[in-house]
Structure formats: structure tokens, C-alpha cells
Amino acid sequence: MPVSRISLRRGHTAAYLDALSAGLHQALVERFEVPADDRFQLIQQFDPAEMRFDRHYLGGPRSDDWVLIEITAGRPRSADTKRAFYRRLAELLALSPGLAPADLMVVIRHNALEDWSFADGHASMLP
């Protein structure tokens, strides 16, 4: 039940955005214990002046193709699960759309079941 936000520089093709979306979803299913039909993503594009980031902090060098993926997930995953997810995501996005692993940053946040309402004004995850 994660919700993912993909933030990147404006100007990429629809095919590039599709590849980011597909790679993220595949990695979530394969390594983050997410069902295949659980796909909620927002892609947000910014003008170059609206993205400020350090090109070398804890990685890099980062290029103008830097992508930030923020994931809000209900239930926590183990550190090993997260490590496997990060690796698989970097592998998949390097294959398509060709994102350099140094240009990928991921932040995962967790919240409680009562924090989710998927529709109709119901606390969807509570009995």
C-alpha cells in the first residue's frame, strides 16, 4: 500500500516517465513485499531552478538527471528488505530509462494503518 512520489527535472519524455514508473513498481513488487495491483504513484517535474541538491553528499556525483523517490509505506520493512529494494531499484532504472545509480535518491517513511483512507471516507485498513 505504498504511495510513491517521483520528483525530477522537467523535460523528460513520456517514455522516460513510464520507464521510471514501471521500474519503481517492479522493484516494489519484487523486493518490498508489495502486491502487483497496488500501484499509487505521483510524478512531479520541476524547472531546473526549482531543484536544489548537493552533487556529492553521501554519493554522487549527481547530474541534472537526479531523481528523488519518496515512499510512504504503512508497515515497516526490515533493513535487509530495504537494502535489497534499493539495489534492485537502482539496477532496474539503470537498465531503463538509463538513470545513473548516483542520480537516484530514495526516502522511505512509515505510518500507521489508521492513516490510510483509500476511498469513500473510510479508514480502509482498520476493521
Of residues 2, 76, 97, 127, which has the active-site annotation? 2
Nearby residues of 92 by Cβ (< 8 Å), 6 or more positions away: 23, 24, 26, 27
Q: What is the per-residue burial (b if ≥16 Cβ within 10 Å, else e) of 52-69?
A: eeeeeeeeeebeebbbbb
2 is catalytic: yes
Catalytic annotation, residues: 2
